[in-house]
Each structure stands twice: as C-alpha cells, then as structure tokens.
Amino acid sequence: MKAVHFGAGNIGRGFVGLLLHEAGYELVFADVNATLIDDLAASDHYTVHEVGAGARDRVVDGYRAVNSATDAALLAAELADADLVTTAVGPTVLRFIAPHLIAALRARPADAAPLAIMACENAINATDLLRDEIASLSSAEEWPSIAARAVFANTAVDRIVPAQAPDAGLDVTVETFFEWAIERPPFGAVAPEIPGAHFVADLAPYIERKLFTVNTGHAATAYFGRDAGHERISEALADPVVAVAVEQVLGETSTLIVRKHGFTDDEQAAYRAKILERFRNPELPDTVERVGRQPLRKLGRHERFIGPAAELAEHGHPVDGLLAAVGAALRFDLPSDPESVELRELLRSRDAPAFVHEITGIPAGHPLEQGLVAEVTRIKTAG
Ligand SMILES: NC(=O)c1ccc[n+]([C@@H]2O[C@H](COP(=O)([O-])OP(=O)(O)OC[C@H]3O[C@@H](n4cnc5c(N)ncnc54)[C@H](O)[C@@H]3O)[C@@H](O)[C@H]2O)c1
Ligand SMILES: O=P(O)(O)OC[C@@H](O)[C@@H](O)[C@H](O)[C@H](O)CO
C-alpha cells in the first residue's frame, strides 16, 4: 500500500507520516518548501521524539520526497499508483492541493481501486472542503466520473506538535498523546488499515469535541496568555488568572458538547482534565505565538470560538467566557503573522458591526451579534 502525504511539516512528519509508516505504507511526502524536500530526499530517516510520561523515540525511514511546486511530473507519477492521499497543510491551503488531485483522478483508470483521500486539518469536515475544491475544477458533467475514482473521508487529528527548534533538522518533538478518528461509512466494507487510527460511524461528535475543547481551550490559553505577557502555553496555564478564564471558556463549550453529542458530564470533565494536563506538559516547548497564529481563521463562523458560541447563544446559554476569549484574540498583535497584521487593519478600517458580520459570519440580529460588537467596540475604543 502506498500513501502520498501533502505537507511535510510538524504534524505531517510528527504524526500522519509516522502513523502511515508504522502501518506499513510506502510513504511519499509532497511539500512546496524546497529546503525541507531536499533535506528529506537527502536523508534516509528522521526521528520523532516524544516528550512526557511514557515517551519513546520512533524512527521513520524508507520515504521519498517530492517538491509539489516544481516537480509536477514526478508528483503525478507518485499519485498514479497511490492508494491513499493525506494532507496536513492548513485548511486555507487545501485549494492549492486540489489541482494535483483532479489531475491524478482524471488519469486514474476507471477500474482501478478508488483513491482514499483524507484531509488531516483542524477544521470541521476538512476533507469535504478539499472535495469541494476539486469539484470546483470539474464540470457538473465530468464530476460523477471523477468522484467515483475516490473515497473522501473526514478525519479528526489530535497531537500537539510544537514549532521545532531551529537546529532540530528533520526530527520532530511531539507529545506522547495522539488520536486519529476517521469516518468509516465512505469506505464501505474495506477501510484502510492504519492501526494507530480508529474508524467511527459518525465523526461529528469526535471532531466537534476535539475542535471545541482542545482547540478552543488551546487558543483561549494562547490569547489570554499573550495578553498576560506569557511566551509558552505551559507558563500561561500556570497563571491562575489565565487558568480561570480558560476554565470558564471550557465550561461553556462543555455544555454544548454534552448537550449535543450525548457525552456524559463525567466523560467531558475527564476529557477536559486530560487536555489541560497536556497543555501543562512542561517538556513541550509550545508557544502562544504558534497556537494563536492566524487569528482571522480562528474567528471564522464554524471555528473554535464562534462555532460553539453561536450555537450556545441560539439556545440561550451564557457565552461570557467565549466572548472574553474573542476579545483577547482581537488583541493578538504579532507582526510576523500576516493574519494578525490584517486583523489590525480590519479593526482600523471597519466599524464594529461590519467587522463582526464580515469576519465572524454572524449576521445582524443573531443572538451573538451584540456581544461580539461590544468586544470589537472595546478594542477599537482602546486604540
Ligand atoms: N501542530 C499541531 O499540533 C497540529 C495538530 C493537529 C492538527 N494540526 C493541523 O495540521 C495542519 C498542519 O499543521 P502543522 O503544525 O504541521 O503546520 P506546519 O506549518 O508545520 O506544516 C505545514 C506544511 O505544509 C506545507 N505546505 C504549505 N503549502 C503547501 C502546498 N501548497 N502544498 C504542499 N505543502 C504545502 C508547508 O511548507 C509546511 O511544511 C494544520 O491544519 C493544523 O491545524 C496541527
Ligand atoms: O493548528 P491550528 O492553528 O488550527 O491550532 C493551533 C493548535 O491549537 C493546534 O495545532 C493543536 O496543537 C492541535 O490541534 C492539537 O491536536
């Protein structure tokens, strides 16, 4: 079995690539970072260093590497006999992967086994987003024959992989914890064999619990933490003021997760405790800058703050903690992050309601609108 994985970055090398390698896949990394691809092509292995209780090193070897920006022919050849394609490039990059995949699917013989495609991104139904990008490159007449040559399965991936030290080379430092949930129904009777992953009948509870607990809590820690002058996630959570604010946020999203997906209060409390323990891991050099980067994406309608807050507000539940986290996100000022720079410009150039409608997707009259407008107004008034 052969897998082509797009995005040889932190989660690509430290999680998806590792699990595919351990599952026995012939592994090909595709990335647009020329230095990274040259280094991978020139090496015969890298090591994934786990940190925390029960940590061990794992070696990944026997892979190949393709520069997908400059070597379309080699990429097409690697995709031609692949069984599986995965991505870990960021949700906003999926549209750049789509042209490669439609070319591969057009070239794939109609009687070949379908190509399994799974986007491993922090977004609700990221594989559906990728499928829609591929479909947008096809006509309505052509699409059924293209779609028949692929199986699109959504996934939820969870492992904290921090930014790596400049001298780490290809090695990746990761936490010991990981979870990879994949929806089974698209595969019918024959799902890929990936022992580190688990296949589930309905992904919604897994992806919403993950995004609205792990990522909401993580982002809240990053934004409150940066506000309080902390550099690392573990330091931020050691600050009682930050910890209380994060607990309030997670209390609110837990109400939604329990109410909507049928987890018990005890199950959700245990899940929360576990993720806070993961964030506190002092051996994990994770920073508020990495976790907070791309604030505009994180303030999107179906993302980690607005997604749960909108649903809670629609049912009359309190969202004060989430609104405070949005306020902290609006103060995220990181000149090296283009989205943070754009955020500052949007705050300057839009009035508060226009900003809320455009960036969060919350329309006029929605029960969350006034709370968001108040947060934006507070930031604009403070200058
Ligand atoms: N790091 C984590 O803790 C973590 C955990 C779970 C999920 N994720 C998700 O995984 C995805 C990747 O995150 P990451 O931390 O590995 O980021 P990263 O920046 O380390 O890696 C992304 C990689 O994608 C590559 N890339 C960018 N554009 C590309 C393109 N057009 N074609 C091919 N490759 C391209 C980049 O060069 C980079 O190597 C994101 O969606 C993130 O939300 C990250
Ligand atoms: O990758 P992002 O930018 O969507 O979110 C930042 C972190 O919260 C995220 O990368 C977590 O480390 C990860 O989702 C843990 O599984």
CA distance 191 to 195: 11
Q: With 90 as the cut, is the pLDDT of residue 383 above it?
A: no
Number of other CB atoms surrounding residue 300 within 10 Å: 18
Q: Supply the pLDDT for residue 189.
A: 86
Note whether 91 and 128 are within 8 A (CB): no
Judged by phi (left if over 0) then psi (alpha if -120 to 50, else beta), residue 52 lies in left
| Strands laid side by side in the 198-200 sheet | 155-158, 179-183, 198-200
Note whether 281 and 234 are within 8 A (CB): yes
Average pLDDT, the chain: 97
160, 246, 296: residue to mutate for ligand 2 pocket, most atoms within 8 A of CB: 160
Instruction: Write the residue with the smallest CA distance to atom 36 of ligand 1.
Output: 7
Quick: pLDDT tens for 251-278: 999 999 999 999 999 999 999 999 999 9
Mean pLDDT over residues 156-177, rounded?
96
Quick: pLDDT tens for 301-333: 999 999 999 999 999 999 999 999 999 999 999
User: DSSP of 180-241, one letter per residue?
Assistant: EEEE-GGGTT-----TTSEEES--HHHHHHIIIIIIHHHHHHHHHHHHTT--BHHHHHHSHH
Note whether 334 and 289 are within 8 A (CB): yes
CA distance 335 to 321: 26
291, 299, 303, 332: residue to mutate for ligand 2 pocket, most atoms within 8 A of CB: 291
Nearest ligand to the CA of 279 is 2
Second-level CATH architecture of 2-202: 3-Layer(aba) Sandwich (3.40)
**Polymer length in residues for the chain:** 383
User: Residue 240: which residues within 8 A CB-CB, separation 6 or more?
Assistant: none
Q: Supply the pLDDT for residue 79.
A: 98
CA distance 303 to 220: 13
Nearest atom in ligand 2 to 290's CA: 6
Domain residue extents for the chain? 2-202, 205-382
Q: Supply the pLDDT for residue 17.
A: 98
Q: Supply the pLDDT for residue 90.
A: 97
Residue 31 bridge partners (DSSP): 67
Quote the percentage of the chain above a pLDDT of 90: 98
Instruction: Write the residue with the smallest CA distance to atom 4 of ligand 2.
Output: 122
Identity at 262, one-letter amino acid code:
G
135 closest CA partner among 150, 120, 123: 150
Residue 86 bridge partners (DSSP): 5, 118
Number of other CB atoms surrounding residue 259 within 10 Å: 13
Quick: pLDDT tens for 187-239: 998 899 999 999 999 999 999 999 999 999 999 999 999 999 999 999 999 99
Q: Is 6 annotated as a binding residue?
A: yes
Instruction: Write the residue with the smallest CA distance to atom 8 of ligand 2.
Output: 215
Q: Is 230 annotated as a binding residue?
A: no
What Rg do the C-alpha atoms of the chain give, in angstroms? 21
Q: Supply the pLDDT for residue 226.
A: 98
CA distance 163 to 293: 12
Q: Which two tokens stand for residue 275?
A: 């993720």
In this structure, are strands 150-152 and 155-158 parallel, antiparallel, or unpaired? unpaired
Identity at 5, one-letter amino acid code:
H
Q: Supply the pLDDT for residue 290.
A: 97
Quick: pLDDT tens for 101-124: 999 999 999 999 999 999 999 999
CA of 313 to the centre of ligand 1 (A): 32
Q: Which residue has the tokens 């351990």?
A: 22
Q: Is 14 annotated as a binding residue?
A: yes
> Given this chain, do its domains 2-202 and 205-382 carry the same CATH topology?
no
Q: Is 67 annotated as a binding residue?
A: no
Number of other CB atoms surrounding residue 202 within 10 Å: 11
Q: Is 13 annotated as a binding residue?
A: yes
- For ligand 2, say whether the CB of 214 is within 6 Å of any of its atoms: yes
242 closest CA partner among 254, 253, 228, 231: 228
What CATH code would you report for 205-382? 1.10.1040.10
Number of other CB atoms surrounding residue 83 within 10 Å: 16
Residue 169's pLDDT band (boundaries 50, 70, 90)?
very high
